[in-house]
Each structure stands twice: as C-alpha cells, then as structure tokens.
C-alpha cells in the first residue's frame, strides 16, 4: 500500500513536535578540557566554540575531557584539522583505546568518525593523545549510534576468468556476510595451537610467502616445502587459505646490524630500493627484478591453482603506513605496483584462483574497484576493543561494493559486541606467537564457541556453493531514501516500514544538533512518502533518522542554495 503524507515543518511543529530526548548528543570543546603540553589557539578560522587545541607534538600531549552522560551506545566524532597532512589519531574513551586516520584537510576544520562507544550514566572521560601528532583538535562529539544496513555485495570478481571454485568461495563469503564471522589464525603452528586448546579449527588459515622472496633466497633462506605444507593444511581441514607476502626488496638491501639486516628487507628502513624511481624506468634492471620476484611468487600460487584451492591473496599490505618499501614513496607508486601485480599474475601468468584482498589505508591509497575484491584492516589495539572506528571509516566507502574483513589483529574480536556495533568482518585473523598464546585459554575458547563465529568444522560445502542467498527485497527493517539530493528547498523522503507502527523522525545538523523532531503515528506498512521543506534551514549537510520498534534508518541529505 502506498500513501502520501505531505508534511510541512510548521505544521509539524504545531501538531507533532515533541522534545522526546531520545537522540542524545554531547559536544565537548577541546579548548575547554584539561590541557597538557598543548596550546589553545584561535589562529585558523572555522572552529566550533571558542577555539581549538594545537601543538599535539610531544609524547605527553593530551586533552582530557570529562562530561556527564546517560548510558547508551554512541557514535564518536573528532572535530579536527590536519595542516601537516593526513595523520593517525589516538583516543581513550573511559579507558578504552581507539585509533584511526584523519584525512588531509589543511587548515580547514572537519569532522571524522571514531566509531561507536558505550557511555555510562554519570561521569565519562575522553583523552585525546598525540597519536602521530601534528593535528589540531576542535571538539569531540558523541551522538546516539545507529547501525546502517549491510548491503549485499555484487557477485563479481576482478578476474573475469576466475575459476568456478574461486567464484564459489566468493559466493559463500557474500552469503554469510553480516550473519557469521569466520575465525582465522596466522601461521600453521598457531592454527594447530588453537585446535589443541579449543577443539576447533580456524576457518581461515593465514600464511606468508616471505621466504620465497628471491633476495632472501640469495642470502640463504630456504622456503622449500612451505607451499606444500599450506596446501596440505587446506586439504586436511577443509579450511580457507589466505596468503600475504612480506616481500623482501628485490635488491638494494642495506644489510647492517642492528635493524637493517637482509632479513628485514621488506621494511623501508632496511633497503634503499626506491619504488617510485623503479616504476618510472620500465626499461631498467630494477624493474626487471620486480617482475622476476612476482614471477617467483606466481610459481607458488600456481601450485594452489593446480591443487584446486582458491587463495585470499593479500599482497602489499599496510602500504599507507609507509614502513614497508612498497608504501614508502606515497600512494601513486603503490597503486601502480598493485595494478602491475594484478596484470602480471592474472593476465600474464593466467592465475585465476585469487581473490584480491587490499589492506586499506585512507581512500587515496585505494587501487580502485576494478583491482580489488575485498577490503581489509590490520588492527592492533587494546583487548576488548570493538574496533569499530576503522570499521565505520571503511564501511562508509565500501558498503554494497566490497566485503570488509579483519586481515590482521593483535586481539580477538568480541563477538557479543558485533551486532550492536555492526562490525561484521567477513573473517578475522589473529597474529601469531604471543598475540594468541598470551590470551587466556578460556577467552580463546569463548570466541571459538560463540554462535556468531564459524570455524572450519562448521563450513558448508563452499566449493560447490550454488545459489546466492541474498536478503529478501521486502524490508525486514525500516529503510529510508530521499530525492532529489542535494535539494532546494524541498525533498521527498521515501520511508519503507515492515509493519504499521509509530515512527520517530529527527533531523540533525552536522554538529549533531537536533533541528526538528516529529512523530508519525500509525505509519502504514510498505513504502510511504514524506515531503520535507527546508526553506528555513541554511545550506549544508543534515542527517535524517527514522526510528520505529528496534529498527533505525539514517540518511544524509544536502541542502544547496
């Protein structure tokens, strides 16, 4: 049934306006906090409040903000500027650390999501720490959290000739995205360790081609049999295989003690190999060495292809961090190298059993939709962290486009927090050694026996995964869209509700200030339309939130005069 509800805001105010208070927000000006080794400034315009905080340059730099709240799950935001280029931030909210990236804005103030966080009733504390330093802090904002709907990912891979097994694996991953998280562990010894203490086999085994780097073999590394052991693990367990490659630079290793020895040759610090210069000279000998190394890895990947094993292939990871040589010269050489590798392995060598996993930095490092199948994060943070900052940051760009996964972590995800925070990683992978061995066994067991976690023993026949189980088109939750967008002065909201119910609608501005709230009593099931009239608003970005029952939908709308 379709009905038209025409609503103008003045009529709203008269008939429906209620100060319900269900959408909380707390705006904390940085300049009002307890400041240590930082300075208040008003030099650059455009800040909120009475200024901003600058001079986040020493290890002791910190801004401490204490405020009173009502308990709930909130989205956290940082008002910031990055005059020195993109920087990493670090904050602690009630003692729980989170971190992420701030894009380059120059002297212009902007707002970055920091993920979701639980606030408690009474006093709460936020501490903004130096992180990478050299960024300015305007404010910290909390607003009542909403979890956006996880949209289905297209059934396509960047390899048009991907093998049927590889396509089947991707179909399986897509079908379980947002429903289950596949367990995973780095290194065969630690895969065995997890099995020995939990009785369960991680669904994804994560391995590395490091010692197949030709420049390591030149120094005596002997990888003989490594690939065969990975293949044997996959056949023994029916688990999925993920492989990364700590690629020792093809040449130009510094090889000096203490921290630049040849076996550190994947680190920027241990090589003078200049990827930008090498790529600029395709006729040069170093360019040929790049190809030689990729060809060496192609030999190993072909063994998986012959064995009928698809590979979640994750080369050139953590490039944006700059600590590996493939990321040391900025995003452009990295993207060029990534694309060159796709071309070399897929087109030149005819390897068609790969699902290409890109470990994300900020958006400027993304090689492009035509070159990436899965987007991933490597996250090292405090135990118990929901890791939602990085999730939210990435999800905004890739919802409905690519699967998002946790390709490396130093702590286990917390399954109980996943539905509320919406952090539906396709799979996770805990790093090896102490990272897994120092976690109390009871905690490892709790994760591996959680109903949201899928282990190798729980995997269906993913090699013959046929029909795609996508969410039904009938909404099970409230959905919201609008057109036109941008608009001036009116726009039409199209709201889908699964049942007849009372809905609450709120419109807030970019700082989280609620401009309008209204109730739609006994809104009928199906698709309904509401006209918004923004003639009394100023130009800018607004958020429309529709809540009913346990479901919430949110939409960004932009008024442009």
Which residue is catalytic, options 29, 143, 149, 318? 318
116-175 positions binding Ca ion, by CB under 5 A: 138-139
Q: Please, what is the minimum distance in Å from the beta carbon of residue 476 to Ca ion?
A: 41
The pairing of beta strand 501-509 with beta strand 540-548:
antiparallel
Tokens of 486: 């941008």
Token pair in block for residue 287: 């360019």
Number of residues counted as binding Ca ion (CB under 5 A): 7
Choosing from 37, 49, 349, 399, the residue that interacts with Ca ion (CB under 5 A) is: 49
- 98 in Cβ contact with 381 (< 8 Å): yes
Q: How far is the CB of 509 from Ca ion (least distance, A)?
A: 16
From first CA to last CA, the distance across the chain in angstroms is 34
Question: Which residue of this chain has its Cβ atom nearest to Ca ion in the complex?
Answer: 49
Cβ proximity to Ca ion: between 49 and 152 the closer is 49
User: Can you name the residues that pair with 24 across neighbouring β-strands?
Assistant: none
Q: Is 92 a catalytic residue?
A: no
Q: What is the Cα–Cα distance from 91 to 226, expressed in whole angstroms?
A: 41
Q: Are 559 and 488 in contact (CB under 8 A)?
A: yes
Q: Enter the tokens of residue 196.
A: 């020995």
Which range of residues in 25-33, 288-296, 369-377, 415-423 is near Ca ion by CB under 5 A? 25-33
Measured from the CB atom, is 49 or 84 closer to Ca ion? 49
Catalytic residue among 31, 393, 408, 517: 408
46 vs 284 by CB, closer to Ca ion:
46
Within 8 A by CB and 6+ apart from 10, the residues are none
Distance from C-alpha of 123 to C-alpha of 94, rounded to nearest angstrom? 9
Q: What six digits make up the tokens of 337?
A: 């190298």
Q: In angstroms, rounded to a whole number, what is the distance separating the alpha carbons of residues 7 and 3? A: 13
CA dihedral 230, 236, 242, 248 (to 10 degrees): -10
Residue 32 in contact with Ca ion, rule: CB under 5 A: no
Least CB distance to Ca ion at residue 300 (A) = 53
- Tell me which stretch binds Ca ion (CB under 5 A): 23-31, 92-100, 280-288, 408-416: 23-31
Active site (annotated) includes residue 336: no
* Chain CA centroid to CA 483, Å: 28
Stretch that binds Ca ion, among 48-56, 280-288, 410-418, 423-431 (CB under 5 A): 48-56
- Would you say 134 or 371 has its CB closer to Ca ion? 134
From the list 37, 48, 226, 501, which residue makes contact with Ca ion (rule: CB under 5 A)? 48
Contact range with Ca ion by CB under 5 A, out of 26-34, 143-151, 304-312, 461-469: 26-34
454 neighbors 181 (Cβ within 8 angstroms): yes
Minimum CB distance to Ca ion smaller for 82 or for 405: 82
Cβ 40 to Ca ion shortest distance, Å = 9
Residues that bind Ca ion in the complex, under the rule CB under 5 A: 29, 47-49, 52, 138-139
Give the residue numbers annotated as catalytic, written as ranges. Answer: 318, 408
């Amino acid at each position: 049934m379709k009905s038209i509800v025409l609503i103008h805001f003045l009529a709203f105010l008269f008939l429906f306006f209620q100060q319900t208070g269900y959408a909380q927000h707390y705006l904390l000006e940085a300049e009002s906090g307890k400041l240590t080794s930082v300075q208040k400034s008003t030099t650059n315009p455009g800040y909120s409040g009475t200024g901003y905080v600058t001079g986040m340059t020493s290890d002791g730099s910190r801004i401490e903000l204490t405020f009173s709240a009502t308990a709930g799950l909130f989205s956290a935001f940082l008002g910031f500027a990055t005059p020195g280029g993109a920087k990493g931030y670090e904050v602690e909210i009630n003692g729980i650390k989170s971190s992420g990236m701030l894009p380059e804005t120059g002297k212009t103030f902007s707002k970055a999501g920091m993920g979701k966080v639980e606030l408690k009733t009474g006093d709460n504390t936020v501490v903004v720490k130096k992180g990478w330093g050299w960024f300015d802090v305007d404010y910290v904002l909390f607003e009542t959290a909403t979890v956006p709907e996880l949209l289905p990912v297209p059934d396509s891979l960047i390899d048009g000739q991907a093998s049927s097994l590889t396509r089947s694996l991707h179909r399986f991953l897509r079908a379980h995205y947002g429903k289950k998280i596949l367990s995973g562990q780095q290194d065969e010894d630690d895969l065995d360790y997890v099995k020995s203490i939990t009785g369960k086999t991680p669904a994804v085994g994560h391995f590395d081609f490091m010692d197949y780097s030709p420049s390591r073999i030149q120094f005596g590394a002997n990888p003989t049999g490594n690939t065969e052991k990975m293949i044997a693990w996959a056949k023994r367990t029916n688990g999925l295989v993920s492989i990364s490659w700590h690629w020792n630079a093809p040449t130009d290793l510094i090889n000096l003690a203490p921290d630049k020895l040849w076996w550190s040759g994947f680190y920027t610090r241990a090589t003078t190999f200049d990827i930008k210069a090498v790529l600029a000279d395709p006729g040069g000998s170093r360019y040929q060495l790049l190809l030689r190394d990729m060809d060496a890895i192609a030999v190993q990947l072909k063994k998986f292809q012959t064995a009928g094993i698809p590979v979640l292939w994750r080369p050139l990871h953590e490039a944006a961090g700059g600590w590996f040589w493939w990321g040391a010269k900025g995003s452009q050489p990295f993207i060029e190298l990534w694309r060159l590798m796709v071309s070399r392995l897929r087109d030149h060598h005819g390897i068609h059993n790969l699902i290409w996993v890109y470990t994300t930095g900020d958006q400027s490092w993304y090689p492009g939709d035509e070159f990436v199948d899965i987007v991933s994060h490597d996250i090292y943070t405090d135990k118990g962290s929901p890791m939602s900052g990085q999730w939210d940051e990435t999800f905004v760009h890739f919802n409905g486009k690519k699967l998002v996964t946790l390709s490396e972590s130093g702590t286990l995800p917390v399954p109980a927090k996943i539905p509320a925070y919406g952090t539906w990683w396709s799979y996770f992978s805990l790093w090896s050694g102490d990272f897994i061995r120092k976690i109390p066994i009871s905690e490892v067991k709790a994760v591996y026996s959680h109903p949201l976690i899928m282990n190798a023993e729980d995997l269906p026949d993913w090699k013959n995964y046929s029909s795609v189980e996508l969410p039904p088109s009938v909404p099970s939750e409230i959905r919201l869209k609008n057109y036109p967008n941008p608009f001036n002065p009116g726009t039409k909201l199209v709201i889908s509700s699964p049942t007849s119910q009372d809905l609450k609608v709120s419109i807030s501005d970019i700082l989280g200030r609620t401009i309008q709230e209204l109730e739609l009593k006994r809104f009928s099931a199906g698709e309904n339309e509401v006209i918004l009239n923004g003639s009394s608003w100023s130009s800018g970005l607004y958020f429309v939130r529709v809540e009913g029952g346990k479901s919430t939908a949110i939409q960004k709308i932009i008024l442009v005069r």
